[in-house]
């Protein structure tokens, strides 16, 4: 399902994305509870939805 995302008007913050990835990798070293996994899942999906339009635009310019 395509939903409008308010974060699309906000510049991509590589530090925030990197921190989320580091936290996700740390979750893999233990036994996180369901709430932690759910929050991480939502955060990662939000980053992907924010990055996809820029990636698609860049890819469209490729020969």
pLDDT at residue 2 is higher than 50: no
pLDDT, position 9: 63
* Greatest Cα pair distance in the chain: 45
Q: Read off the pLDDT of residues 7-48 as tens digits, 9 standing for 90 and up.
A: 456 788 899 999 999 998 888 788 888 999 999 999 999 999
pLDDT at residue 5 is higher than 60: no
pLDDT, position 6: 47
Cβ neighbours for 19, distance < 8 A, ≥ 6 positions apart:
none
Q: In terms of residues, how long is the chain?
A: 63
């Amino acid at each position: 399902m395509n939903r409008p995302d308010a974060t699309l008007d906000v510049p991509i913050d590589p530090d925030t994305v990197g921190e989320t990835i580091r936290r996700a990798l740390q979750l893999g070293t233990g036994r996180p509870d369901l709430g932690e996994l759910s929050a991480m899942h939502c955060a990662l999906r939000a980053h992907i939805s924010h990055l996809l339009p820029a990636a698609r635009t860049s890819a469209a310019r490729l020969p």
